[in-house]
Amino acid sequence: MASPLKIVNARIVDGTGRAPVSGGVVLADEQGDLVYAGPAQGAPCTDEGIRVMDVAGRTVLPGFIDCHVHFGMESGRELGTRFAADPTVETFRTAERLRRTLHAGVTTARDLGGLPAGFRTSVTDGLIEGPRLHTAVRIIGHTGGHADFTTPSGIDVSGGVGEIADTVDEVRKAVRRLLRDGADVIKLCATGGMGSPHDQPEDEGLTVDEIRTVVDEVRRHGGRPVAAHAQGTAGILNAIRGGVTSIEHGYGLDAEARELAGERDVFVVPTLSTVFDGIDKSTMAPYHYAKKMRWSGITKENISAAIADGLRIAMGTDAAICPHGQNLRELTHLVSLGMSPMDAIAAGTRVAAELLGLDERLGTLEPGKAADIVVCDGDPVADISLLADPTHIRCVIQQGVVRKNTLTE
């Protein structure tokens, strides 16, 4: 449970984009909400009944948000192993991945396919430790498309990751099934993909009419974000025109697509870790490796241009394609393509919270928001790579509860 907490001697990077505050103080109350974050001279003068944590000049930031993960899978393991594995063991492996990710500084995450809603409930109820979760449950796609991992013998080796729909009516029913099963976000495939055996990233997935149907059906049921797996240019344009909330991957985000995304205020989640960290010929199917090699340069060029164009970019790693628990490496990749360190931090905090519709409670260190806090060695504004190494994440606090603390080591 949360208890009153006072962090002192902190360099505060609050996620708003404001300049860091040296010698700062952060206060959280017994509900795990922030009361104050700012200069020491302006802090309330009370230490009675409060745990005081002296971070000795280290940097205090908002808890990070990874908008694109797959906790039900693991990097280096082909998806077919999920089908063959013992489900009880897989449940505990998933719980370990959740904890590893939390300890890397990610206090909130969005799973975009393969994670049942029960894991969200288990985190909320305190049965397991992990980031607070939004989950898509399954992924809507066409027969033979990115969400279809059916073998020639008719076995779905993904273990039910895909929600197959081939017409407007089937798409509408698919959305209803996902909402029934507890989806916080609907994910659809607007293109083919890298890891799917039957298609190419430039192939189109759902049609514009089918994408509009997804968006409309979600609207009819109270509204949720709609995330589009979209890699090739044609499918990216279809997704934006269909009204999605975010473009996931965006590898083919050319000038026309970038202009349209900017006009419609669509978020982009580039998942650069899959390009920088997710290519290992020894562990990948040949078709997967060939696609990655063909697209990696195009991706870097287009995402660099998206950064320069000022699109709304939120952090997402596609963890499972790249390793879990190294999520904040994504920030170094954003910076390598031209984003400033402060903007990269915002992409993983404030902008990510806006994408998930959680910005009233998360994403910045401001009074009234949840006390999701990360303490990092050094100054990540000067050296963003500090965040990439989980050993530099010395303390992780989630809703006022200390989940990791190595400050005394």
Q: In which band, very low, low, confident or very high, does the pLDDT at 289 lie, cut at 50, 70 and 90?
A: confident
Q: In which band, very low, low, confident or very high, does the pLDDT at 285 lie, cut at 50, 70 and 90?
A: confident
Model pTM greater than 0.85? Answer: yes
Q: Which two tokens stand for residue 131?
A: 């980031």
Mean pLDDT of the chain: 94
Q: Specify the pLDDT at position 150.
A: 82
CATH of domain 64-356: 3.20.20.140
Tens-place pLDDT, residues 79-124: 556 667 788 999 999 999 999 999 999 999 999 999 999 999 999 9
Per-residue pLDDT, averaged over 304-315, amounts to 98
Q: Which two tokens stand for residue 379?
A: 């100054």
Does the pLDDT of residue 21 top 90, yes or no? yes
Q: Specify the pLDDT at position 323.
A: 93
Q: Specify the pLDDT at position 10.
A: 98
Lowest-confidence segment of 14-18, 121-125, 195-199 by average pLDDT:
195-199
**CA dist., res. 364 & res. 371, Å (int):** 9
* Vertex 245 angle, CA 243 and 250, to 5°: 95
Give how far Cα 351 sits from Cα of 61, 246, 311, 360, Å: 14, 12, 11, 12
Cβ-in-10-Å burial (0-12, 13-18, 19+) of 276 comes to: middle
Tens-place pLDDT, residues 234-269: 999 999 999 999 999 999 999 999 999 999 999 999
Listed by start position, the domains of the chain span 5-62+364-405, 64-356
**CA dist., res. 66 & res. 272, Å (int):** 12
Q: Which CATH class for the 5-62+364-405 domain?
A: mainly beta
- In terms of Cα–Cα distance, which of 62, 33, 38, 26 is closest to 368? 33
